[in-house]
Chain A
């Protein structure tokens, strides 16, 4: 932005340049006008001076002519000349000369010899005689002539008696007095030149008198030169064809001084106006831009979230005030919207109670503000609506939403006094914080709360009986940190769910275990990715009771950390299921097992391998394709693969699981129901399942030989299975008695420690050899 010109500067620049333009134009016009009129004036002066000069010389000429005529007509004078009476001649000349103040009075004979003169200088000038000889031919004319360095205006008239016997010459010297008189009359300087040489001038600067003086230039204007004098030359040609020049010169310097004064005053005024304009326009521009700055400040304030600006614009124009008002309105609207967005961001849109992050924030603020109340005890409750999904599914999501609203309202209503805050974390999970009075038993409070909560609820004319699960955690006993409190409450709720309890209070250490499990999960993720041998498969042989041969094994996963720590498969598989990592884990298992099977096949060992899969695995969209791809990869026979899935997992998404299982079964893969007998599956379902095998849970087998009830269950299960066309596997066989019993019950396969515990591939091969 730095390179852009500010508005203020632009306005100032515009104003100043307009003024400069105007002033320049005015100055130029005024100068031009002044100079033109000045030139006209000078020309006028020169013309009038020229006229005056000629009139003056003509008047002098007339004077000379008269005097000369009178002289030459005088009979006595003629007589004196004829008789060369020099004394008389001189006296007459002097007499007539003094009448008109003539400075030159002389008489020459016909040959130019001077007979008499009023000044000896003339007689001694040889040029004069020569001049007079030529003058004779041009009598009766006044002329200008240089005699002995002085300029004369003279007239030559013949003395006729009656034929010419002599010439009289009468003249005025053009001396300083003459010149000054002319100057006085003409009001200009006058100079006389002969052959470009200056003879006399009225100018005072005698030190520097030469012809160039009149062409001198004035340099006071640095760039321009000006003539010091305006000259006009008038040429007079005398009888000898000599050119005498009278020059009138107007001294221009006074008018230059006037002109310079005018220019400097104009310039001064111009600069003043320019300066004034600069300041004035700057002030105007400042007034114009100040509101802009204020608006900018306003915008910045808005950007920082400060919307409170009710003060009015200071000294802004009407338009600017409009803009300012609009800004203020905009700020208010933005503030409203921001509040709304903020509220929505912090609150659950359905129930208008805090969302998770806001809840935690508020809780931590609450804790912080009540830190000094050391006796304050808070009860944090996580409330889960049990089977809410079912309400949603059966009654529709509209009713579901209304239900949630009603639940939220009810949660608010109970213990209004003690309620600190309430939040909704997910679809059917609410959190509340309740103040506990000293000495109150939290268990009673919770139970009381639950009673109120469970009361039948009317939702859109429907009366619903909802069941809840509660997790609880206490502040400050169990945690003093908001996040931790929420997490531990969640853990308690999770525990309630896992333990199928209605109310579950957080127990010390659970959080640490939870965190440990999280760590373990991360390790598992890394281990799967690296596949460095920490995870490996073991195989437990299944004995065919009909043939007495080992033709099947169940593959089981094991995790032994490099430090030798054995991680329980139940633990990490459970974690993997919870986190979704089970997909990758199962992929790893399938890949590893099929690879192992290929290795066995290469050793001419053909074993059916059972692989445990979870509900998440089979419902995953890529599972079937993955199985087929891996089978193709290892060129495996689908008939040698058995997938074991628990009946609980089958039931989680019954239809999808059954369709997937059918798909797999089509290819020849065998399906086995794992842990049969401890789940909730009905016998009715059993007939629909596309299964090949049933694995009776070891709970019925471990003490088969001692429990008659187990024997009945197993006996009937085996019979039922056979009736339905399933093969039966009993797991957990640990003694011969059980084995024999199962054999008698016509169980197809047995598996257990009595036959072999799960062993790795190498051990298995060895075991197989010895067993046979």
Chain B
């Protein structure tokens, strides 16, 4: 597997410096990591403000080498911990199973109205339900009828090569894998939830000095506000 080395360009660093979240130690850490992984291509996914995007999905349409051997279906876990889905975004392959164990000691009523797999599971603490198989590729949005604030996503990938970015917005792909295009998805990607973005290999933007470093920009919507009611009928003069 070939490794893409992503070299941070000076101008990128400047851009980072502009960001109020980035500090000097983070830059040093990134540089150190890039030096170590020379056999892999690295993708850094940034939003419109240049901030790294976590939980962004990169699904590669692989061309060579074609691996014909079909991996058996796996069972993955979408847990509920502290009234949150854990992980928030779960990546599975088509036909994989997902188990909803409920680690909280309260009830959850997990449901999904997504077309890929509409379901409804009443989860009681400590009582596992049978895992659900997701046969259709796509995105399943999970909610809890009891706890409105709980949102989780299951990405059912079609391709064998699918990556999810870490907190630094970085995903690493073996350089040996060849692909034509990348399908990009994120929960807050502009448009509706099920929307994806396609990028052809040729259109990938590389760093001018380090050919193994790809920078992908995604436009995100800001998270939906929740329970923020404002009255316009303010008393005048008070």
Residues 139-193 (chain A) with a chain B CB within 8 angstroms: 139-144, 158, 160-165
Q: Using Cβ atoms and an 8 Å threshold, which residues of chain B touch A65?
A: 229
Q: Which residue of A lies closest to B142 (CB)?
A: A162
Beyond A162-B151, A163-B151, A163-B224, whether A79 also contacts B233 by CB under 8 A is no
CA distance A32 to B225 in the complex (A): 57
The reply on B10 being an interface residue by CB < 8 A is no
CA distance A238 to B193 in the complex (A): 28
Q: Using Cβ atoms and an 8 Å threshold, which residues of chain A touch B138?
A: none
Asked if A164 and B233 make an inter-chain contact with CB atoms under 8 angstroms apart, the answer reads: no
Q: Using Cβ atoms and an 8 Å threshold, which residues of chain A touch B151?
A: 162-163
CA distance A50 to B233 in the complex (A): 11
The reply on A681 being an interface residue by CB < 8 A is no
Asked if A54 and B148 make an inter-chain contact with CB atoms under 8 angstroms apart, the answer reads: no
Which residue among B113, B148, B193, B228 has the maximum number of chain A CB atoms within 10 Å of its CB? B113
Residues 177-201 (chain B) with a chain A CB within 8 angstroms: 187, 192-193
Interface string of B219-238 (1 = CB under 8 A from A): 00000111111111111100
Beyond A162-B151, A238-B232, whether A79 also contacts B113 by CB under 8 A is yes
The reply on A75 being an interface residue by CB < 8 A is yes
Q: Using Cβ atoms and an 8 Å threshold, which residues of chain B touch A61?
A: 231, 233
Min C-beta distance of A11 to chain B, whole Å: 60
Asked if B235 and A140 make an inter-chain contact with CB atoms under 8 angstroms apart, the answer reads: no
Q: Using Cβ atoms and an 8 Å threshold, which residues of chain A touch B231?
A: 58, 61, 141-142
The reply on B145 being an interface residue by CB < 8 A is yes
CA distance A82 to B151 in the complex (A): 16
CA distance A237 to B234 in the complex (A): 11
Asked if B228 and A73 make an inter-chain contact with CB atoms under 8 angstroms apart, the answer reads: no
Asked if B113 and A58 make an inter-chain contact with CB atoms under 8 angstroms apart, the answer reads: no
Beyond A50-B236, A140-B229, whether A78 also contacts B148 by CB under 8 A is no
Q: Which residue of B lies closest to A237 (CB)?
A: B232
Asked if A78 and B113 make an inter-chain contact with CB atoms under 8 angstroms apart, the answer reads: yes
Beyond A78-B113, A79-B113, A83-B113, whether A164 also contacts B232 by CB under 8 A is no
Asked if B233 and A162 make an inter-chain contact with CB atoms under 8 angstroms apart, the answer reads: no
Q: Using Cβ atoms and an 8 Å threshold, which residues of chain A touch B228?
A: 140
Interface string of B147-165 (1 = CB under 8 A from A): 0111100000000000000
Contact of A162 among B141, B227, B234 (CB under 8 A): B141
Interface string of A224-255 (1 = CB under 8 A from B): 00000000001011100000000000000000
Q: Please report whether the interface of chain A is mostly helix, strand, loop or mixed according to DSSP.
A: mixed
CA distance A300 to B126 in the complex (A): 139
Q: Using Cβ atoms and an 8 Å threshold, which residues of chain B touch A143?
A: 232
The reply on A110 being an interface residue by CB < 8 A is yes
Interface string of A56-87 (1 = CB under 8 A from B): 01100100010000000101001100110000
Asked if B148 and A160 make an inter-chain contact with CB atoms under 8 angstroms apart, the answer reads: yes
Contact of B235 among A51, A75, A79, A141 (CB under 8 A): A51
CA distance A54 to B148 in the complex (A): 32
CA distance A144 to B231 in the complex (A): 12
Contact of B230 among A54, A75, A141, A144 (CB under 8 A): A141
By size class, the interface of chain B is: 20 to 34
The reply on B123 being an interface residue by CB < 8 A is no
Min C-beta distance of A150 to chain B, whole Å: 19
Q: Using Cβ atoms and an 8 Å threshold, which residues of chain B touch A83?
A: 113, 118
Asked if A54 and B233 make an inter-chain contact with CB atoms under 8 angstroms apart, the answer reads: yes
Q: Using Cβ atoms and an 8 Å threshold, which residues of chain A touch B232?
A: 141-144, 236-238
Which residue among A61, A158, A162 has the maximum number of chain B CB atoms within 10 Å of its CB? A162
Asked if A163 and B236 make an inter-chain contact with CB atoms under 8 angstroms apart, the answer reads: no
The reply on B144 being an interface residue by CB < 8 A is yes
Asked if A57 and B233 make an inter-chain contact with CB atoms under 8 angstroms apart, the answer reads: yes
CA distance A161 to B140 in the complex (A): 11
Min C-beta distance of A351 to chain B, whole Å: 117
Q: Which residue of B lies closest to A73 (CB)?
A: B148
Q: Using Cβ atoms and an 8 Å threshold, which residues of chain A touch B192?
A: 110
CA distance A57 to B232 in the complex (A): 10
Min C-beta distance of B115 to chain A, whole Å: 9
Asked if B235 and A158 make an inter-chain contact with CB atoms under 8 angstroms apart, the answer reads: no
Q: Which residue of A lies closest to B229 (CB)?
A: A140
The reply on B101 being an interface residue by CB < 8 A is no
Q: Using Cβ atoms and an 8 Å threshold, which residues of chain A touch B143?
A: 160-163
CA distance A163 to B143 in the complex (A): 8
Min C-beta distance of B171 to chain A, whole Å: 24
CA distance A82 to B112 in the complex (A): 9
Min C-beta distance of A135 to chain B, whole Å: 13
Contact of A236 among B111, B229, B233 (CB under 8 A): B233
Min C-beta distance of B208 to chain A, whole Å: 38
Q: Which residue of B lies closest to A235 (CB)?
A: B236
Q: Which residue of B lies closest to A162 (CB)?
A: B143
Beyond A58-B233, A78-B113, A238-B232, whether A163 also contacts B225 by CB under 8 A is no
Asked if A54 and B235 make an inter-chain contact with CB atoms under 8 angstroms apart, the answer reads: yes
CA distance A234 to B236 in the complex (A): 8
Q: Using Cβ atoms and an 8 Å threshold, which residues of chain B touch A164?
A: 224
Q: Using Cβ atoms and an 8 Å threshold, which residues of chain B touch A75?
A: 111, 145
Asked if A82 and B235 make an inter-chain contact with CB atoms under 8 angstroms apart, the answer reads: no
CA distance A615 to B226 in the complex (A): 161
Min C-beta distance of B220 to chain A, whole Å: 14
Asked if A161 and B236 make an inter-chain contact with CB atoms under 8 angstroms apart, the answer reads: no
Asked if B145 and A163 make an inter-chain contact with CB atoms under 8 angstroms apart, the answer reads: no
Min C-beta distance of A134 to chain B, whole Å: 15
Min C-beta distance of B141 to chain A, whole Å: 5
Q: Using Cβ atoms and an 8 Å threshold, which residues of chain A touch B234?
A: 54
CA distance A140 to B231 in the complex (A): 9
Min C-beta distance of B77 to chain A, whole Å: 20
B-to-A contact residues, CB < 8 Å: 111, 113, 118, 141-145, 148-151, 187, 192-193, 224-236
A-to-B contact residues, CB < 8 Å: 50-51, 54, 57-58, 61, 65, 73, 75, 78-79, 82-83, 110, 139-144, 158, 160-165, 234, 236-238
Task: Given A51-B235, A140-B225, A140-B228, output 9 extra A-B contacts at Cβ < 8 Å.
Answer: A50-B236, A73-B148, A75-B145, A83-B118, A140-B230, A142-B233, A162-B150, A163-B193, A163-B224
Provide 6 A-B residue pairs closer than 8 Å at the C-beta atoms, listed in order of the A residue.
A110-B192, A140-B225, A140-B229, A160-B148, A164-B224, A237-B232
Please name the 6 residue pairs, one residue from A and one from B, whose CB atoms are nearest each other, closest first: A162-B143, A82-B113, A162-B151, A57-B233, A58-B233, A140-B229
